Amino acid sequence: MDQCNKVCSPMVPGNKLIRDENGKFVDATNYRQMTGCLMYLLATRPDLTFSICLVARYMERPTEIHLAAIKRIM
């Protein structure tokens, strides 16, 4: 997290996340852990609710585009 870039919004405007069956799958356990950590933050950051709920929909079989979206929120 030392080399993170600051962004204005947690999601790219106009970017639609979809179930990508042809994309490269990533480690689902790591993705779930990151999603859980972000859900814990919702107690103090309610402005992130929509973005976190959107990436949480893809916890079963996340791909690289889903991982990129969750990293942008972080």
- pLDDT tens-digit readout, 20-71: 778 888 989 999 999 999 999 999 988 889 889 889 998 888 999 888 889 8
CA distances from residue 65 to 19, 52, 55 in whole angstroms, order as listed: 10, 14, 10
Task: Report residue 58 as tokens.
Answer: 């893809």
Kindly report the pTM of this predicted structure: 0.79
Query: What per-residue confidence (pLDDT) applies to 12?
Result: 67
> Can you tell me the distance from the alpha carbon of 25 to that of 48, in angstroms, rounded to the nearest whole number?
25
